[in-house]
Amino acid sequence: MDSQSSQASQASHSPRRPHTFQVDLRGLVDLLSHHLYSSPKVYLRELLQNAVDAITARRTTEPDAPARVRLTAEGGALRVEDTGVGLTEADVHDLLATIGRSSKRAEGLQEARSEFLGQFGIGLLACFVVAERIRVVSRSARTPGAPPVEWTASDDGSYTVRTLPDAERREPGTTVHLVARAGAAEWLTPERVGALARDFGSLLPYDVRVGDEPVTDLPAPWDRSYPSPATRRVTLARHCHELFGFTPLDTVDLSVPLAGVRGVAYVLPSAVSPAQRAGHRVHLKGMLLTERAEQLLPDWAFFVRCVLDTDSLRPTASREALYEDETLAAVREALGERIRAWLTGLAAGDPERLAAFLAVHHLGVKSLARHDREMLVTMLPWLPFETTDGRLSLEEFAQRHPVVHFTRTVEEYRQVAPIASAQGIGVVNGGYTYDSELVEALPSVRPGTVVAELDAETVTAHLDAVDPAEELALSGFLAAARARLDPLGCDVVLRAFHPLSLPALHLDDRDARHEQARADAEAQADDLWAGILGSLRGSAPRARLVLNHLNPLVRRISSLHDPELIGTATESLYGQALLMAQRPLRPADSALLNRAFIGLLEWATHREDGQA
């Protein structure tokens, strides 16, 4: 007789002889409650899981066996009774007292392994998170002649096993009794047990009740039959509000039979950051696994929250997250395809709903379109962009302009938008997330389209030149203005353009800004580093302050003869142009604005004193 059989025999003759777990149970409880599980509430999931797995195991050999789970909470105690496969005394010693083992691994049950929820055999020991004592009474369905057996364990690590008279339990199955630990009684109240049971077990395939109240609510909302699509949308919207607290813009079916997934995605009614990690509800064979599954959908699908049931994905050790493997990657891809197909269907058949969606979530679709040519072709007529013609799609904008100019930053766009619009230059603001990439991809899906990044040279070339004779007459003014701005790396040019109210325009591009940054660093560096930076000096054009010859203020300033006053006025126009473009100011620019402001005040007060 092996040691295990000998232990079982001794227990039969000495029913109250204590045995000890081969672990530090107090340390295990601390590990479970503080490191493995996110909340003590998972104890009820473990109890439901064991009961459901026991019923599943019995039904592999008895398809018509009863399938009931009953939970009763009262007086700081909980009783969970199931009609499952049950245990013999040998099973109790072999399975309930050994970490890493589970009744699902018993001989003769391995063929049904894939149908079980449990994966790691922690089982009843997890209940010590809330209980100081656990009592299990069970009778085996696989060994009808075996008597009922009782297993009683305490959180000090000891347990006892004894057989019971037949009258104690006549039908196969298991009853688990818990007595609350000090400070944990709230987890065993009828209200808390009922709420947890409904949360974890609403999609379980068996008859689960807390007292007389049913827990399961089958079929799932997405699997039910409805009299009309409108009724289905209303019901699912109500379901979404109950689970997530919002009313969705739309719903997306996520049924992927080949991947063992059934569920629905709810489209958020308000915009969220693409960097925000979405939390999805995942049920595993009907049991709620987690409410915070983050890796279930592709990153671009941040605009939906989903709830689904699966029988193909693996849980982590805590059974509160999904294990990252090839199966999860395949499911993620399949669910992404379902959401992509939904977007394509809206574009083809329901433009109003698509417009409402894009008004909120265009950023997510743009993220997808960057890497998906088919999606870019589909969404091109609908995706909105900020342009000098207003908010338009790239398709409509390209129809209006032979060349689609764009800027890479919002600041650049703000500099040129008023002028470009007045000159008939079409410009797209590519400074927002993904926009410049999509504009550059436009020729690949719209052959013949010309796309060009807008630079200072292009804008200046579209502005009207001043009559040469007039510009020659203003050569002294222009020389004084250029001399004042030369230390800032900025040239001064004279042009005539609309709107007349704009006295000056500051233009630069990325190359000019890089050169300016290099020059600033060189000016502040020591001799060695300045020499290195000087060797990197580029030939890029410098920034430009374009003075509007049509503006009355500029005309008055250009008639001045005092070089110092011309310089102060030029600095003022330069600072005002920077502020109009909403460009960040360098320390030198801030100093210039202060200097110009004080200079104008001094000039104005000196003039008043002279007149007096």
* DSSP state letter for 102: -
More confident residue, 277 or 123: 277
Digit-coded pLDDT (tens) for 397-421: 999 999 999 998 887 788 778 778 8
Instruction: Name the pairing type of β-strands 173-180 and 77-82.
Output: antiparallel
Instruction: Name the pairing type of β-strands 131-139 and 19-20.
Output: unpaired
* Mean pLDDT value across the chain: 81
Distance CA 583, CA 601 (A): 25
Half-sphere exposure of 192 (CA within 13 A, CB side): 18
| pLDDT band at residue 26 under the 50/70/90 scheme | low
Q: Is residue 120 predicted with pLDDT exceeding 90? A: no
Return the pLDDT at 178. Answer: 93
Task: Fill in the amino acid letter for 505.
Answer: L
Return the pLDDT at 513. Answer: 52
The answer to whether the CB of 439 falls within 8 A of the CB of 401 is no
> pTM of the full predicted structure?
0.69
Sheet holding 403-407, edge to edge: 390-393, 384-387, 427-429, 403-407, 450-453
Q: Is residue 192 predicted with pLDDT exceeding 50? A: yes
| pLDDT band at residue 62 under the 50/70/90 scheme | very high
Return the pLDDT at 103. Answer: 42
Return the pLDDT at 541. Answer: 60
Distance CA 578, CA 504 (A): 10
| pLDDT band at residue 97 under the 50/70/90 scheme | low
Return the pLDDT at 258. Answer: 79
**Mean pLDDT within 205-224:** 92
Return the pLDDT at 543. Answer: 81
DSSP 533-593: HHHT---PPPEEEEEETTSHHHHHHHT---HHHHHHHHHHHHHHHHHHTTPPPPHHHHHHH
